[in-house]
Amino acid sequence: MNEEVYIGGWTLSRLRERSQNERHAVWKRARSLHSAEGNHLARAIEMLGLPYAEPEPLPEGDPLLDRLKAVFAEPSARSAAIEATLDGLPAMAGIDTLLHDELGEEYRLNTSAVPTAEALTAALMTGLGYVEAGRKELPKRCVARTGIFWKRG
């Protein structure tokens, strides 16, 4: 109860409970405030010693990357991405559900899986003639939290 409370009500124990991606989002938001309070929170996250950087995509040769690519090669991935886009969601919303169904915990628990899936989704959508039209939140059921919204180019 004697923990320091940072801007936004964050404490070190609450930050420790968060995933690497969530800590990164908090850190990025704190830095973007350009205020003493925001900088204080960002430094606290940095000094916490836990990973907070945005994870890198999976390296070539990683077995999970091959499994992700196999899911993207299926016609259902293309359909799911287009359907999500037509529903006003990022294409990632459709793909995310497929990946979770196919790969389960392996997809959900690997911090590099989501950035890799986002890159593969971008390649799929640009290949289909779509262009980026901003970022949107994904439904709560998704592993990824945000994704690129695509429109016809």
> What digits encode the pLDDT tens for the residues 29-85?
899 899 999 999 999 999 988 877 777 889 999 999 999 999 999 999 999 999 999
* Angle at alpha carbon of residue 51, lines to 70 and 11, rounded to 5°: 125
Evaluate whether 139 touches 84 at the Cβ level (below 8 Å): no
- At 1, the pLDDT band (50, 70, 90 cuts) reads low
Cα separation, 25 vs 36, in Å, equals 18
> Does residue 20 surpass a pLDDT of 90?
no
Domain count for the chain: 2
For 105-152, the pLDDT digits (tens) are 999 888 889 999 999 999 999 999 999 999 998 998 998 888 999 999
| Domain co-membership, 78 together with 16 | no
C-alpha dihedral (102, 63, 146, 4), degrees to nearest 10: 120
Whether residue 143 sits in one domain with residue 94: yes
CB atoms within 10 A of CB 138: 20
Domain that holds residue 128: 63-152
Asked whether residue 42 is assigned to any structural domain, the reply reads: yes
Q: What's the pLDDT score for residue 136?
A: 92
pLDDT tier for residue 97 given thresholds of 50, 70 and 90: very high
Q: Is 53:24 a contact under the CB 8 Å cutoff?
A: yes
How far is residue 101's CA from residue 62's CA, in Å, rounded to a whole number? 20
Residue 96 lies inside a defined structural domain of this protein: yes
Q: How far apart are CA 14 and CA 8, in angstroms?
A: 11
pLDDT tier at 22, thresholds 50, 70, 90: confident
Question: Domain for residue 81, yes or no?
Answer: yes
Residue 120 lies in a domain: yes
